[in-house]
Structure 1
Amino acid sequence: MRRVFRPSWQIVCHVSDVPNAGDYHTLEYAGESIIVIRGKDDVIRAFTNVCRHRGARIVDGPSGCAKKLVCPYHAWAYELDGQLSAVPIRGTYPQLDMSKHGLAPVDLEIYRGFIFVRLEDDGGPSVAQMIAPYDHEVAHYRFEDLRAIGRVTMRPRGVNWKNVGDNYSDGLHIPVAHPGLTRLMGTGYGVEAQPNVDKMWGPLLMRMNRNPSERAYLKYLPRVDHLPEDRQTLWTYFKLWPNVAFDIYPDQVDFMQWLPTSPTECLIREISYAIPDDRREMKAARYLNWRINRQVNAEDTWLITRVQDGMASESFTVGPLSEAEVALRNFARKIRRLIPEARQHRAPAPGWSRTSAPAA
């Protein structure tokens, strides 16, 4: 948590999810609850969801709207910019400097309309710097104009978060375990890795397909005028260090992140966005996209569960990686640099995290 997640950028929502003053979204991870809220001055800010009086959580739920943020415990009130503005029985706090007890701010970055937060600044790159090698590709999809077409879903998984990420960036299992993707893309699936972002892609094969959902998707997917020809039938995936992904289709964009909840459990958080388009063909394509990927997700859940179960065996040791597993190699190098103990075949003794330090 300290070396990987607190310094990493985590996606919260899109600016279109907080369109008006007082609109907020929350994100809970790494033992923290974060509020992202739009102020009366139209500025979007992030704070920890913690009252500066006795530490109570201020808001509940994934989203809402408030004229002020009022703690339900003792009614300390904060303005939308985080400043403490009201304290009941104020006179009984003679030494209180209200200007010093505003909500604790959290680093925030907006990348092409998506809002990211970071608990600690370790000098690492911004979101824009991380995805810079592919920003020219992302630009085609008009992220700034996206709107949510569903709701945030939270899917618990009984696996370590790294198993989800490794599976996401693994191209070798596609022809083995995903018959649907293989029918759609043939052998055209590609994987490459940059220092802080992986890219996976597959051009769709516009050929006869026996699967009803896949055949209908290929039939009804309409032309998207703002996309170049080579992206009209291209599925592209980007994974940002360490656990945030964008699935980019001609018809929609999904984000997904996998948040650790224990060494053997995580929570997958995801939602779909799209540029408003009322064409019947587009509505059909988006529905069929969901049907296709629901099956892919079920296959991946089965796979990562088998890996987690196998890792519990006394016989398990870290296996070799193919030269083709470029994204997994890149991720493993970063984890091992931050947590040298990750090189071991067995978990270190209890208490190791309090005494060990990252390699130089």
Structure 2
Amino acid sequence: MPTPKSLPAWLYTDPRFFEQEREHVFAQAWHIVGHINDIPNTGDYLTLDILGDRVVTVRGDDATIRSFHNVCRHRAGKIATEWRGSCGHRLVCPYHAWSYKLDGGFAGAPKWQGFDSLDPNTLALKPVDQEIAFGFIFIRFAPGLPSVADMMAPYADELAAFELEKLIPNGRVTLRPRPVNWKNVGDNYSDGMHIPVAHPGLSRLLAGTYRIEAKPWIDKMWGTITETPSDNWSERQYQKLLGTFDHIPAERRRLWAYYKLWPNVAFDIYPDQVDFMQFIPVSATQTMIREIAYVHPNASREMNAARYLNWRINRQVNAEDTVLIEGVQQGMESSSYDTGPLSPSEVCLISFGDRMRALIPDANLERAPAN
């Protein structure tokens, strides 16, 4: 049996291939706008800008959550301009004050503008396909993939145990630009072999328990925090606090579990919080990491301390990963590198590569086509 290979380097730098990804990967992909508890009240909204499209998700007068293209039907103005906000009972475009009902219906234009014969039935906001799963609001721009529920089905029971639908936001969305291809971020997220090499703190905490596996549409990575005290203060204090969380089932009190949904959505599930990340492609060599933490409504001093220590620990992990992926991106641009062998244990990278090659035939070429 031949040794599996990584995706060719040119796929991480080529603008023409990036355009194919826009069409064949991201148009059909499910993107997270946010969580249902980001918008608990009538008129609360969230926005998402991705690859030239803009979405607004709003809770209606009937409490239903709906998603629309965030584009005014008059002159394409951006109707909702903040990442999260509240608009009362109307979405109003700040350009010319055209307004829309919370169900997307056209509400009207100012009378002084002279639009006396407009047909409101033709001017509603254009809807976006939406699915709510595990409390998170997913949208997509074209059909093609299975439902989110079907894609996450291999882990549905264990995800249900985390009660993700009860989460509330802890802070605001953070955007972190990175000078790398989006696939480099995702590859690193699902890579288990670099943990004992490049993450000494994580290695101390997980003590050899880190594992990975790949299902058709979702990867899982996980490890158990050791009870052996770390010689690092932040890690040691975090370990102590985990032992006090008796409201969490025993098997989850020290579990760190990570899930990556095809192609670019990730959840870090800890005993103390859930971090959501999205690797938003900007260009062939630019990615925006969009992230926010969610928590269960527990305001105990111990829980807040654990969340702070978690942040300290993972800030270091993120710094280490940033150096790694930027170094890999630079290596992808080297004339010396085309592709590399993958270990049979690198199941997530093998699965990801197989799907990319199936979706985009050019991904099977070791070098970029001449034209």
TM-score calculated relative to the size of structure 2:
0.91
- Mapped partners of 2:369, 2:177: distance in 1: 26
2:136 is aligned with 1:118:
no
What's the CA shift string for 1:113-166, capped at 9, x where partnerless?
1111111112x2111111111111111211111111121110000000000000
Q: 1:222–1:22: structure 2 CA closer, same or farther, 3 Å change rule? A: farther
- CA contact 1:6–1:30 (8 Å) conserved in 2: no
User: Residue 357 of structure 1 corresponds to which residue in structure 2?
Assistant: none
Range 47-56 or range 242-251, more displaced = 47-56
Counterparts of 1:8-27 in structure 2, within 5 Å, are 8-27=29-48
User: Residue 301 of structure 2 corresponds to which residue in structure 1?
Assistant: 280
2:270 is aligned with 1:229:
no
- CA contact 1:140–1:226 (8 Å) conserved in 2: no
Counterparts of 1:49-68 in structure 2, within 5 Å, are 49-67=70-88, 68=90
- CA contact 2:229–2:239 (8 Å) conserved in 1: no
Residue ranges of structure 1 left out of the alignment (5+ in a row): 351-360
User: Residue 5 of structure 2 corresponds to which residue in structure 1?
Assistant: none
- Mapped partners of 1:126, 1:160: distance in 2: 26
- CA contact 1:48–1:104 (8 Å) conserved in 2: yes
SS at match of 2:309: helix
Identity of matched residues, %: 56
Counterparts of 1:92-241 in structure 2, within 5 Å, are 92-93=114-115, 96-122=118-144, 124-241=145-262
Range 102-111 or range 275-284, more displaced = 275-284
What's the CA shift string for 1:299-354, capped at 9, x where partnerless?
0000000100001111110111110000011011111111111222333345xxxx
Q: 1:66–1:270: structure 2 CA closer, same or farther, 3 Å change rule? A: same
- Mapped partners of 1:36, 1:183: distance in 2: 42
2:50 is aligned with 1:29:
yes
Q: 1:349–1:55: structure 2 CA closer, same or farther, 3 Å change rule? A: farther
- Mapped partners of 2:244, 2:158: distance in 1: 18
The amino acid of 2:165's aligned partner reads E
- CA contact 2:168–2:294 (8 Å) conserved in 1: yes
Choose which of 292, 295, 300 in structure 2 pairs with 1:271. Answer: 292
What's the CA shift string for 1:42-87, capped at 9, x where partnerless?
0000001101122121121211111211122222111111100112
Shift of 1:94: 6.4
- CA contact 2:182–2:287 (8 Å) conserved in 1: yes
- CA contact 1:146–1:274 (8 Å) conserved in 2: yes
Residue ranges of structure 2 left out of the alignment (5+ in a row): 1-21
User: Residue 2 of structure 1 corresponds to which residue in structure 2?
Assistant: 23
Tell me which of the two structures has the higher relative contact order, counting C-alpha pairs closer than 8 angstroms and 6 or more residues apart: 2
User: Residue 289 of structure 1 corresponds to which residue in structure 2?
Assistant: 310
The amino acid of 1:164's aligned partner reads V
Choose which of 277, 291, 306 in structure 1 pairs with 2:327. Answer: 306
- Mapped partners of 1:235, 1:308: distance in 2: 28
What's the CA shift string for 1:223-257, capped at 9, x where partnerless?
44453322111100000000001100111111101
Range 76-85 or range 86-95, more displaced = 86-95
Q: 1:79–1:61: structure 2 CA closer, same or farther, 3 Å change rule? A: same
Q: 1:79–1:344: structure 2 CA closer, same or farther, 3 Å change rule? A: same
What RMSD in Å do the two structures reach over aligned CA positions?
Answer: 1.5
